[in-house]
Structure 1
Amino acid sequence: MKWLIGVLLISGVSASTLQFAAVPRSIVLPQESSNLRTSDISTLNELLLGVSTKQVSSFLVKTQLFSPTKAVAVVQIQDIDILDIKGNKYSLDVDGYDFGALDSSLSVAFGADREYVTVNKDGASGSQLSAAISSASVDDSLVKTKSEPLRSELLQVYKLVAGLKAQGAKLTQSNSPDVFQVTISGLIKLVDSDERNQAILEIQKAVNTLSQAIVEAYGDQAVVEVVCDSSPIQIKNTAQAHRIVKRAADETGKSPVQVERERYNVTEFTGSDYPAMFAIFLGLGIILSVAVLYIAVGIWNMDPGRDSIIYRMTTTRMKKD
């Protein structure tokens, strides 16, 4: 199947926070004093999934080429500054977030043979895995809140957990990454402080349960991000065509070679070790080719006398009377 990419996303306008509920050991995150813009989250996730090597200048992350991330889950939690969960926490500058950019990059790299699932209060939609999530059954008693919008969203999260557990080891059999986007907006209509505090505790429980399920499904190869914001912003979900137009508009001032590389989608290496690997294989290929040519030329110019290997191998022994 695809590589699952587990990212939990919460976006807002005033106070925003990016939290990593799960990170593979192969990924080294920067210090928590680092800042990140919401518009850079897509670029960051492309790097974490191995689709691109482009770094966010203010948020430098170390990854390993031979330990790829197989899943990213994005949970958007609105009307909250921060969620009390374990993991690295970073402040966010909100300037818009385009989740469709990540989907466009994965479409170019892996085509349609991958998992992409969106989960909200209306249910699960997207790739083939969404059908298993929609048909999953969960115990309604897992959610205690009386707020119907939030209750519906949390039940869908638990359905996602059940769907992941039902798939089991199948999720790790593909070389393409899986992406999950989860939206939780039920806190917006909660005004009563006691009810709101209880709802936040239930969201924490649901997020931790989802994070654990993703880690179990993909092993140490999944990323779970949580983005929180007290003033939600609209998340774009642009199509792949939008991204292509944007590339064409930015061609001014670029060299012809750079324009052609972008046109054929080779503007960036998919791993930082690829240039060294290419040089090794290219050098080895040249050396072997020269060696074969040298041997061929040597045999061609060899004197086919009685004491040569050519004479012994090509001349048949004459019959004697």
Structure 2
Amino acid sequence: MTVSRIVPNKMAVTKALFWISFIIAVIGSNAEGELSILHSPDSLKFSGSSTTRESLLKEIFSAALGLSVEENSEWKGMYVNDPFNTPEAVVEVYIDGVSSLGVNSGLKSKSYPLLVDEYEPDTYEAVKHRIKQRFTSGGNKLVNIKLSNRYELESSEVFGEVTYPKTLKQSLKHLKPSVDEDSNFLDELKTLKAITDKVSEGQAITADNIIDLFNFRFLSLHPLSDYYGSSSLETKEAKKLLAEALQELSKAFVKAYDGSVLFTVVTTDVAHTRRAIRSVGADGKQTGPGEELNIKEYKANNETDDSYGAEYPAIFNIILWFVLVMVFSLIAIVYALMDMDPGRDSIIYRMTSTRMKKDN
């Protein structure tokens, strides 16, 4: 039996590749961010403006602290001038849901474009593991706090008892405490200022020649930006207030460590689900009529609420992007099949053709 060679339809293949590339581009377009250096000691030098990846932050922080790294990087933004005088601490403030605080926020820093290639970065855990391997006797201050959860701050052995400011020093022009998004943002800002005051006291943190690691996660700017819009006056005011608070926190850490600290801010706009705001506020009280909740009850509610558990955003995004990829892939396949020439592309048509010749 003689069967001629099947020649694929180049136009159909091109269209299929176009759709696949489009899907990848749509997903990748939401993966941008910024790495900002608010302070670095003289032993480190940050220069240039090259892009780095979020998955390499753990290597950057490890190299800055004089720890061993596991992955080589082509990033030329940081140089270690003095490997015998590395910083005593690294502070990372992770701001969720925005690509940058913007130049209008007044944040004075050295900034680098950040390619977000991890949805939930393991920067803190990786650097923490390396610190524990290096300092087996302990004594390191390892702090990982979500500013939206005051229980994590109050249960921290490093900061101990903290006092939250009742009001902010700055007068609000556009933000309204009566709005849930605004209220949550202001609560996180007060928590950040409470940490600043605690560090400024000079008792919780002191220079002791032992490597420390701090990670603070700011979550409420994203829903506020979604609610008002990224270019709204409310969002711009929120970014400015946050930038001022970060500058104050940076100065407090620099003073506590006598300048031997690397203070960084990481902003990412990885697509997150906008969840309904809980009726329980950050201060442990219900926003509506009802009883006051103590810290233990608040924590228990967070742990038992399956609708808004810690895994909810990850599971939702996995399902969302999987469905989108499947839908666009199906459209691309159907579109390619519509343009298919049965006489040239399909082996089924050729095998059943009445014009097929057989060699006897």
Give TM-score, length-normalised by structure 2: 0.56
Q: CA deviation at 1:52?
A: 2.3
**Distance in 2 between residues matched to 1:233 and 1:211, nearest whole Å:** 27
Instruction: Number of aligned residue pairs: give it.
Output: 220
Q: Residues 51 and 105 of structure 1 are in contact (CA less than 8 Å); yes or no, is this contact kept in structure 2?
A: yes
CA contact (8 A) 2:59 2:69 kept: no
Partner of 2:142: 116
Show the counterpart of 1:23. 40
Question: Where do 1:268-307 residues align within 5 Å?
Answer: none
TM-score (norm 1): 0.62
Cα separation, partners in 2 of 1:127 and 1:43, compared to 1, 3 Å: farther
Does 1:176 pair with 2:205?
Answer: no
Q: Do 1:35 and 1:59's aligned partners in 2 also have CA atoms closer than 8 Å?
A: no
Q: Quick check: 1:36–1:59 contact (8 Å CA) kept in 2?
A: no
Q: What is the deviation of 1:53?
A: 6.0
- From 211, 219, 230, give the equivalent of 1:185: 219
Contact 1:73–1:180 (8 Å) recurs in 2: yes
* Separation in 2, partners of 1:226, 1:116: 17
Q: Which moved more, 1:45-54 or 1:205-214?
A: 45-54
Amino acid at match of 1:131: G
Q: Which of 45, 52, 57 is the aligned partner of 2:68? A: 52
Q: How do residues 89-108 of structure 1 correspond to structure 2 at under 5 angstroms?
A: 89-96=111-118, 97-98=121-122, 99-108=124-133
Matched residue, 1:231? 270
Matches of 1:31 and 1:106, distance apart in 2: 28
Q: Distance in 2 between matches of 1:113 and 1:170?
A: 12
Deviation at 1:15, TM superposition (A): 2.4
Distance 1:200 1:187 in 2: 8
Matched, 1:140 2:167: yes
Cα deviation for residue 185 of structure 1 reads 1.5
| Partner Cα distance (1:159, 1:219) in 2 | 21
Question: Shift in Å at residue 61 of structure 1?
Answer: 2.7
Question: Residue 37 of structure 2 contacts residue 109 of structure 2 at CA under 8 Å; is this kept in 1?
Answer: yes
Q: Which position in structure 1 is the counterpart of 2:349?
A: none
Task: Output the CA distance in 2 between the equivalents of 1:60 and 1:188.
Answer: 28
Match of 1:165 among 193, 196, 200: 200
Shift of 1:60: 5.4
> Could you tell me which residue of structure 2 aligns to residue 76 of structure 1?
94
Cα shift readout 1:87-125 (whole Å, capped 9, x = no counterpart) = 211111111121210111111112431111223111244
| CA deviation profile, 1:28-84 (whole Å, cap 9, x unmatched) | 12411x221101001110111112266522235322122220111111112222223
Say what the alpha-carbon RMSD is for the aligned residues.
2.5
Provide the secondary structure at the position in 1 that maps to 2:214.
strand
Deviation track 1:276-307 (CA, whole Å, cap 9, x = no partner) reads xxxxxxxxxxxxxxxxxxxxxxxxxxxxxxxx
- Cα 1:149–1:68, aligned 2, differ >3 Å: closer, same or farther? same
Contact map agreement 2:164 2:190 (CA 8 A) in 1:
no
Partner of 1:130: 159
CA positional deviation for 1:127: 5.2
* Contiguous gaps of at least 5 residues in structure 1: 1-11, 235-321
Amino acid at match of 1:176: I
Q: 1:232 to 1:69 in 2, by over 3 A?
A: farther
What is the deviation of 1:18?
A: 0.6
- For residue 40 of structure 1, what is the amino acid of its counterpart? L
CA distance in structure 1 between the partners assigned to 2:44 and 2:222 by the alignment: 34
Verify the 8 A CA contact 2:91 2:213 in the aligned structure 1: yes
Residue identity in the other structure for 2:110: N
Q: Is the 8 A contact 1:42 1:102 kept in 2?
A: yes
Structure 2: gaps spanning 5 or more residues: 1-28, 274-360
Q: Percent identity?
A: 21
Q: Which residue of 2 aligns with 1:206?
A: 245
Give the corresponding residue for 1:285.
none
Alignment of 1:305-320 (within 5 A): none
The residue type paired with residue 106 of structure 1 is I
Give the partner amino acid of 1:224.
F
